[in-house]
Amino acid sequence: MLSPGHRMSVLIGMWVAVGLGFFALGIYGAETGRDVGWLFVVTLLATLFTTIVLSGALPGVFFGAPGQEKTKRHRDDKLALLLELMDDDERRAFKEALKQQVLAGESDGELPYDAELLEALEQEQTASRRSR
């Protein structure tokens, strides 16, 4: 599938080639005295049709119609599903393992969390659960 930038490059290249072809056909027709008008018309119609298709004016002809992309599951959906499948003990163990992993990875400079912040978050979550 062509990206929009590639489509534009193909269109520009195609029209330049058609222009050069028209020039060559005109010279050929003038030199030989043959009627090449029908070649101009056929070439022009084919180029116009290709331009319409590549510009996306006819969605779904060769390129998928916009908005019909497959919906993808987000990472948050997977985490929510995982947490739903866990009981309270498994959640606490998972939370503790995650906490240890975050604290161990703190030296890498990736996550700016510290133990006090994680404990404050845990206390806030337990307080919000009690208020329900």
pLDDT tens for each residue of 97-123: 888 887 776 555 555 556 666 677 777
- pLDDT tens sequence across 28-54: 888 898 888 888 899 999 999 888 887
- pLDDT tens sequence across 51-109: 888 777 666 555 555 555 555 556 667 777 777 888 888 888 888 888 888 777 655 55
In the block, tokens 């520009």 appear at 12
Give the list of residues 6+ apart from residue 66 with CB closer than 8 angstroms, or none.
56, 59
* CB-CB contact of 52 with 45 (8 Å): no
Q: What is the pLDDT of residue 90?
A: 83
Report d(CA 20, CA 12) in Å as an integer. 12
Report d(CA 24, CA 16) in Å as an integer. 12
pTM of the shown model: 0.42
Residue (of 40, 48, 63, 59) closest to 14 by Cα position: 48
